[in-house]
Amino acid sequence: MSVDAKPDTAVKPARRAAPPGSQGTMLRKTGDWARRGPLLPALVFMIIVTQLPFVVTIVVSFMDWNAYYPDERGFAGIDNFRRVLTDANTRHAIWVTIVLTAGVVLISLVLGLLIALLLDRKFRGRGAVRTMMITPFLVVPVAAALLWKHALYNPTYGLFNGVLKWLFGENAPQPDWISNQPLWSIIFALVWQWTPFMMLILLAGLQSRPLDVIEAAGIDGANQWEIFRYMTLPHLRQYLELSALLGSIYVVQNFDAVFTITSGGLGTANLPYTIYQTFYTAHDYGRASAAGVIVVIGTIVIATLALRSVSTLFREETGR
Amino acid sequence: MLSRRKRIGAAGVAVLVTAVSGCAGWGGGAGGGGEDSINVLMVNNPQMVDLQKLTADNFTKQTGIKVNFTVLPENDVRDKISQEFSSQAGQYDVASVSNFEIPIYAKSKWIAPLSDYIGQDASFDQDDVLKPMTQSMTAEDGKIYGEPFYGESSFLMYRKDVLAAKGVTMPAKPTWQQVADIAAKVDNAQPGMRGICLRGQPGWGQLFAPLTTVVNTFGGTWFTQDWQAKVDAPEFTEATKFYVDLVRAHGEAGAPQAGFTECLNNTIQSNVAMWYDATSAAGSLEAPNSPVKGKMGYAPAPVVKTDSSGWLYAWAWGIQEASKKKDNAWKFISWASGKDYEKLVGEKVGWSNVPAGKRASTYEIPEYVKEAAAFAEPTKSAIENADPTDPGVQPRPAPGIQFVDIPEFPDLGTQVSQDVSSAIAGRMSVDEALKRGQELADDVAERYRSRQAK
Amino acid sequence: MSSSITMVKGHQRRGGGWALSGLAWIVGILFVLPVLWMLLTSFHSEEDAAKNPPDVAAPLTLDGYRAFFDTGPWPSILNSLTASILSTVLVLLLAFPAAYALSIRPVKKWTDVLFFFLSTKMLPVVAGLLPIYLFAQSVHFLDNIWLLIILYTSMNLPIAVWMLRSFLSEVPVEILEAASVDGASLTRTLRSVVAPVVTPGIASAALICFIFSWNELLFARVLTGTVAQTAPVFLTGFVTSQGLFLAKVCAASIVVSLPVLIAGFAAQDKLVQGLSLGAVK
């Protein structure tokens, strides 16, 4: 960062090229609105498209609304919330969501870091390897889920069991991957798709290290491990946080993989799937909306704690 | 300025794409297309895919009505159909509903009655439609609300050659215990061949379709007539334990994930010697390029305490009440479920692909009977012996053989099936699974009891 | 000292050598293997595709692709293109000024605004579906590609704002201010100073938005019908519970993923830049 922080008062007039001696407050107000102006379209758009539906969701969550019984529509108070919070399925879904998200994000992060370290060196065909690595991320997610479920995991004609038969002959073990380890099957498939994403971010982080300092440290006698631990990792911290944040946002919401691979069965129903099922199979709109509201509150609480206190991502330069 | 240049470029792209997409996606409202077009939402079973292929050259040419199809897998299409019909969105005129949805939708007035159309359409011949089919699509007001496209019951398919090699004969009307004994005998008759294939995949229409028929014939039921849940009752438990034990002992590999397709694959590839499932499977087993063509025998669904136990299911057409093109929609239904269409499929696609199981006249077409000789009669008698109003040993509060025709059943059945599937995988005991199932079922039953009390 | 530093160029590390390069290759191949398998299977017949052990050398056929193209995929593909491109354009039009307002001339409390944008991505999409569906139904906006365009824009706007803000904050502000006083050279300054910093940002944000819009399934499945169906929804239509479908689904998956694959491969560097400078300097 090459911009020094200047005191506000000195900066503002120069930026606005205002005639000297203008009233402070008036121009400051215009200045504020001139700054907000460009932001407004995006902000207004987001508020209309995301917050309005959410308000409706809140309203519906207080209603007893089941599409199959239109005569019984009415106000339900907090009945829906009570049922959601005491329902064993919902509690299990919360647990599944946490395990799924943490599992996918942490494993992809570690794998991504290791692979990024591997790719940080120049070697023949590095570009080709990088291209191969990013391919999983570019496959349409539902196609990837179908691929894993039917072409790889299937115990009768999937590739994994086929390879086992190749290696060990006719009597090879032919495990039913999805039935034996349903949640891990999903985690594995998602890790395959998200590791390239993590790897790209971390690779860019590695390649933006100030090399001269590192070389100097190397010449001064620090070994690879020390360089990694005391110089590379701190530099990578923001990249790691960014990858974890983006990955979590997307994996928490993941629906396609759960729907496709296990249809939410065998205990793998995460929150988006449970809410979907309550909407479309049970048609209990009130209860599904209540679940949605609870999820939003929970996520925002966690996000606020995590992002504002722990992360360095928001502690950027202030006062520009 | 750079961003302005980018914006102009982007705007140019936008204009170009907008012009091109004059053909694409500018629908809105009640679907695209001209005055004479209808929108059909259907499941992607092979019979429907054939229909999609044959429509333009036949139906559209004859009537000038263009048909726009949306084709989705079963789980997806059920969700979309129920959303569409419950909100009466008017996006689709016709949908492939089953005999499960029709009575429920009719009661909620989401689909239109067809009785007037049937009366005026001389060529349709409702009397030709098999009685149980018509009955399952008639609502409480006595009007017919759907027309079957193809129907099925269930029966037991077995490898005649494998059983003969082991010196085993299949009785004409087998019991479940006899079937279990046979499965034990033919288990591993050939390398890698298991005794029987039974569905284990979670889903009210997957695992619980065959399992509910087993429960029925063991004397169990989901609910009694006064809406008491009986999921953990002795009969239901005995039936489920029998099913789970049989699958675990002599069933296919990967049973907890095995649905219709997996068992079909297993049977075609000689990985199993027997298979209890839908009669519609026989068409694929006897297809010209099937390795097991001519080797399969067909026995009625095994029983214990009842006279018959085959299920009753049909993919049928319903017209959305909010549709503004009901007349055209009926023309389509009349064509698709008519006698001529069956002959058309036989000639153009193949006689084993005819959407059968709905009309008595199908079983009199010479070419069809020749092609389907092995399974035509067992299929027809299985359907005719199915009674959706009285499938078990006790009276029922709602119709249905392999399901209970209430809106809560898909959710209830699917949730309980997930636990039973876990039991098949050995991760849970049957008692535990049914105990949880009883709680869920009682939750549903309680609402019905309170409604009855009013 | 300086000579020994300048001697070492780029990101070369000594030692490890062959072993590490070999390991990198193995890892790369392992990751791309499932996709290669999907590609191979798409060229097999259905029966060959379902064999165990898999028959790698089975005769190649175009049956899967023929079956795919026979069912008329072009409207869906066109819809996906329209939705993805138009929503990306819309996102850039909205995000660029917003990013400007959060970096070069930041509003007060810009961290709060940024957090707000990000928090909109935490709402479970599924829960918001019902109000959107009911609203669209009441204004006859169902099965209309513009509904998807608007929703995809809202889906990608937060990330785009974040990324662009990061790129824009790289712009040396003093030069910008000096140029703004001296108006004549403003455009030139923008072109020579701002453009190089911002172009990669715009390109990578566009690429990311395109990828996420193209891949989106849930909204498309629920809110579209016969007219506005997108490619991923069309793809799911091949998974049938009756009969073999592996080769067809693989062929369909390859074709449907092709635009994203091509875009990603072609713009690899932009992808790296965009993802890394998402919020980090």
Quick one: which of B427, B36, B231 has its CA closest to A178? B427
Residue-level length of chain B = 454
Task: Report residue B41: phi and psi, to 5°.
Answer: -110, 120
Contact present, B309 and B216 (Cβ < 8 Å): yes
**Looking at the predicted structure, is the pLDDT value of residue B111 above 50?**
yes
Quick one: which of A163, A240, A172 has its CA closest to A205? A240
Least confident of A48-52, A312-316, B26-30: B26-30
Task: Report residue B317: phi and psi, to 5°.
Answer: -105, 135
Pick among A3, A39, A215, A241 to test the C interface (most C CBs inside 10 A): A39
Could you read off the pLDDT tens digit of each residue along chain C, which spans 281 residues? 333 333 333 444 555 678 888 888 999 999 999 999 999 888 888 777 777 667 777 788 888 888 888 888 899 999 999 999 999 999 999 998 888 888 877 777 778 888 888 888 877 787 788 888 888 888 888 888 999 999 999 999 998 998 888 778 777 777 667 766 766 565 676 677 777 777 878 888 899 899 999 999 988 988 888 888 999 999 888 887 666 788 888 999 999 999 999 988 888 877 776 666 644 44
Summarised one tens digit per residue, pLDDT across range B367-393 is 999 988 889 999 999 999 999 889 999
Q: Within its chain, how far is the Cα of A51 from the centroid?
A: 20
**Looking at the predicted structure, is the pLDDT value of residue B198 above 90?**
yes
Residue B307: other Cβ atoms inside 10 A? 10
Token readout for B103 is 């009575």
- Residue numbers of C between 21 and 50 with CB closer than 8 Å to A: 21, 23-25, 27-29, 31-32, 34-35, 37-38, 41, 49-50
Least confident of A117-131, B148-162, B272-286, B320-334: A117-131
Contact present, C38 and A146 (Cβ < 8 Å): no
Across B246-306, the runs of DSSP E, i.e. the strands, are 272-278, 296-300
Write the CA distances from C165 to A251, B217, C97, C157, C221, integer angstroms. Answer: 24, 68, 9, 12, 33
Measured on CA atoms in the order C104, C107, C112, C115, is the torsion positive or negative?
Answer: negative
CA gyration radius for chain C? 24
Q: From the CA of B214, how many Å to the nearest CA of chain C?
A: 22
A307 chain-C contacts, CB cut-off 8 A: 115, 118
Residue B382 is predicted with a pLDDT of: 94
Task: Give the ipTM.
Answer: 0.82
Of C85, C195, C229, Cβ closest to residue B2 = C195
Residue C145, helix vs strand vs coil = helix
Of A60, A130, A141, Cβ closest to residue C268 = A130
Contact present, C65 and C249 (Cβ < 8 Å): no
A65, amino acid identity:
W
Q: Does B55 touch chain A (CB under 8 A)?
A: no
- Residue numbers of C between 226 and 255 with CB closer than 8 Å to A: 231-232, 235-236, 239, 245-246, 249-250, 252-253
Residue B244: other Cβ atoms inside 10 A? 24
Q: Do B69 and C133 touch (CB under 8 A)?
A: no
Quick one: which of C218, C220, C206, C217 has its CA closest to C267? C206
Give the span between the Cα atoms of C66 and C64, in whole angstroms: 5
Q: Which residue of B has its CA nearest to C96?
A: B3
Q: What's the pTM value of the predicted model, to 2 decimals?
A: 0.81
Quick one: which of B161, B156, B183 has its CA closest to B172? B156
Listed in sequence order, the DSSP H helices in chain A are: 8-16, 24-36, 40-46, 52-61, 79-86, 88-119, 126-138, 141-146, 159-168, 177-180, 182-207, 211-219, 224-227, 233-252, 256-261, 271-280, 285-303
Q: Which residue of C has its CA nearest to A124?
A: C21
Residue C164, helix vs strand vs coil = helix
Give the span between the Cα atoms of C84 and A15, in whole angstroms: 38
Give the span between the Cα atoms of B229 and B438, in whole angstroms: 7
Q: Tokens 């064993």, residue?
A: A88
Summarised one tens digit per residue, pLDDT across range A4-33 is 333 433 333 333 444 454 445 555 556 677
Residue B21 is predicted with a pLDDT of: 45
B429, amino acid identity:
S
Q: Does A123 touch chain C (CB under 8 A)?
A: yes
Measure the CA angle with vertex A272, ends C163 and C80; round to 5°. 55
